[in-house]
Every structure is written in structure tokens, then in C-alpha cells.
A and B are shown apart, each in its own frame.
Chain A
Amino acid sequence: MINKTVHSVKEALEGVSSGMTLMLGGFGLCGIPENAISELVRLGSSDLTCISNNAGVDDFGLGLLLQQKQIKTMIASYVGENAEFEQQMLSGELEVILTPQGTLAEKCRAAQAGIPAFFTPAGFGTEVATGKENRSFHGKNYVMEEAYQADFAFVKAWKGDVTGNLIFKGTARNFNPLMCGAAKVTVAEVEELVPAGELDPNQIHVPGILVNRIFQGQDYEKRIEQRTLRNI
């Protein structure tokens, strides 16, 4: 049994420095690594390139890093919910690389799986394909997309064990499993950290080999972005 546990978020983020490329799991505010983001704010690292499907809201998620102007380049598929983001993008302070969501997911998965590039139909004939190799297979056109190269991946799971095995809950899974093992160092934070043997091996979503450091997260807010209810 290889123990991946670190005992604080501070220890979990050791080695993070300015100018690095970071992957951050989550869809909207669902399944985001809240503890890692708070620690990134505390560290104050700057000129970061962040790969994440969204960029948070003004006062939560990656919006907290934007407030401190820590992000230089944002790679995302949808960034609508954030006035600070808008202001920095329009002023040219923030570079934004918009990427189709399925392509973003696959660029993470490819990095995880040792695939340097792949062909996808998404974006063919649009500005997303500009400057990229196009190829036709069986009469359909595809765009070549390359795997990401990142320094750290920060993911959040529901449960994990000390060997780094992870289980996610609901739609908080999203990009998190794909980012595990897709960067030089993968840091997983979990709502509940348990000893080895407590999780059923049949139910593991991410095997611990893809995780370098795991820690018990604190004080999850799990904010809901669009609380939508059924009319009775």
C-alpha cells in the first residue's frame, strides 16, 4: 500500500510557483477544488495558465484568482458568469483560449493516457480549427488537437482513500477524473478521506496510481450557481 496522504493543503501545493500551467476540475461551481483554490490565493502565485471548463463567478471558484490578477491565460469552454473576467479580458490583461468542451475533456484525457494528439470533428470549418491540421477519415473532416501539458492538476472528489483512490458524486465528477495523472503532479482533495480497504475496489472511479497527493478538504461551501426549483 502506497500512502499518498499529505496533512495540509499547504503541503499539498508544495512546488507551485508563478508561471505554471494548472488544471482545475469542476463544471461551473460543481466539483471544484475549493481548498486548492483558496491556497493558490494565499500563495499569490501569478502569471498562471489555468485549464478549467469555466472560470468561476466573481467571488468564488477561479474568480478568486482573477480578483488577485493571478491568471495570465485562461483555457476554458464557457466563461459567461464573471464580471471580473469580462473586464480583464476586454482590457487585454487576460488571454482567453476558448476550446470546445468535448475537446477540452479529451485534451485532458489524452495527457492522462499518453496520447500526444487526436482528431475530433468539433470545430471543423470554424475559427477553432485555424492553424490546426485538418484531415479526412471515411469522408468526414476532423481537426487535430494536442494533449495538454500541465504542471499541476487540482481535483476534488467525494471520497478517497490514503492510496489516492477516488470516488465522485453526481455531476461533480465532470472533468475531475480526466485531469488525474494528466499533469506532472496531481493533487486530490476529498470530502471524506478513509483508510485503505474501506472503499470497495469495484466502485473506484480513479485508481490511486493517477494521484500523487491526497488530503482531507475543509469547510466545503459547495455553492449552487443556479438554484432552480420545481413549481409545486
Chain B
Amino acid sequence: MALDKKDIAKRIAKELKDGFYVNLGIGIPTLVANYVPKGIQVEFQSENGILGMGPFPYEGEEDADLINAGKQTITSLPGASFFDSAMSFGMIRGKHVDLTILGAMEVSDKGDIANWKIPGKLVKGMGGAMDLVASADNIIVAMMHVNRKGNSKLLSKCTLPLTGLRCVKRIVTELAVLDITSQGFLLVERAPGVSIQEIKEATAGKLEIPAVVPEMQF
């Protein structure tokens, strides 16, 4: 059975390692914070200027001066720090952030990503996405395998304007975990009960299928 968004976030949370500084994008990535494995310490960075971001505030405790990059009210945890936007992107470009998790509209089998613009539709802007994908060594994309029209989002070449070139390392969708390798998309895991055939049909780019593809564990 295909995963829901919470399950995708749960699976990605297994990628978190003790001591990681992590930047979470808007959407499914934000949910990852709810599933940090027990026994490890990570700190979440939000590019508008906080490290040590905590959960949403309780009613009455919200502070207009404390938001995340999605403009939502948040809290800060013990050990948190605030900084300006140049420092924030300095720590991103300087590769001090260990893991970036973000959403995408399309990913190519070379690791190109498109997630900011659909020509002919309203363009909202790239925000910090271009800086993040151009700099981070460890980028995981959280997205659905196909778009609303049923077309694959895992392509041989992105059709939408690019956010970054050859930068994505791993993709987690409702159907599978895939790595970007020199051979294209390498199928690493499949969602419980999802067949390899289903994944093949939903993947337009080059797909490498090993002899054994284990089911995801949670």
C-alpha cells in the first residue's frame, strides 16, 4: 500500500543521525520533525534565522517575532540561537548544515531538481531553495511519485525551470526510496505491499532495479 505524507516523513526521519543540523522545507519535510528517532539529538535550522527550532507554540504563547521560513509561529528550544539571513545562508553555503529535506515538482535521473516555477502559472519565487540545493552535500527530496495529472515526477530530464543541477541524493515517495547514481534512479526500498511493477510504471526516468528490493521499515 502506498504511503501517506506522514509515512513519507516517518521514513525520512530514519535518515536523521545523532548530531545532525537539519533544514526542513515546507510541506512534507516539516512533518519530519515529529518523528525524530529516540535517543538521537538533532537541531533544526530554519533559514529565516534560527537554529534549535522547537514545535509550534501553545495558544497564547505565540510570538510575532518568532516564526519559521514558512512564516508559521514556532518556539525555540534550549540551546537555540538567532542570526541574520546572511549568517543563515552562510551556514548553508558553507556546508555546516548536514541534511536538507525539501519538496519537488520534478527530479531528473541525474539529480536535477525543479521546484519553484511553472511557466504560465503564478510564480511565487524560489525563496531559499536555490541556495540550499546549490550548496548542501546531502539533499533528500520528499514528494509524491506522480503529479495530480498522474504523470511521473521522476524524469530523464526536468521539463520545468530548474532550481539546481545534479544535487539530489535521495528521493522518498509514497511508493519507494530511490538514490541518484550514475546509472539513474536506483530503487533502494519499496513501500509495504507496493510492487516493483507499480514503481516502474510511475517512474519515467532511467530506473535501476537490484535483484532484491526490501520493503521500507518504520
Contacts and interface: CB of A to CB of B under 8 A. Distances in A.
Interface of A: 27-31, 53, 76-81, 86, 89-90, 96, 98, 100-106, 108-109, 120-128, 158, 168-178, 205, 222-230, 232
Given A124-B164, A170-B63, A226-B67, 20 more contacts: A30-B48, A80-B122, A80-B124, A100-B129, A101-B89, A102-B88, A102-B93, A103-B130, A104-B85, A108-B86, A121-B135, A125-B164, A171-B68, A171-B82, A173-B84, A224-B62, A226-B72, A227-B72, A229-B57, A229-B58
A228 B56 contact: yes
B201 interface: no
A30 B71 contact: yes
B127 A122 contact: no
Interface residues of B, number: 50
Scoring A80, A128, A173 by chain B CB atoms within 10 A of each residue's CB, the highest score goes to A173
Given A171-B50, A229-B57, A109 B86 contact: yes
A29 B70 CA distance: 11
Nearest to B126: A100
A122 B134 contact: yes
B165 interface: yes
Nearest to B131: A102
B125 A76 contact: yes
B16 to A, nearest CB: 21
A178 B93 CA distance: 17
A226 B85 contact: no
A30 B165 contact: no
A229 B73 contact: yes
A174 B161 contact: no
Contact of B71 (A222, A226, A232): A226
B123 interface: yes
A20 to B, nearest CB: 23
B130 A122 contact: yes
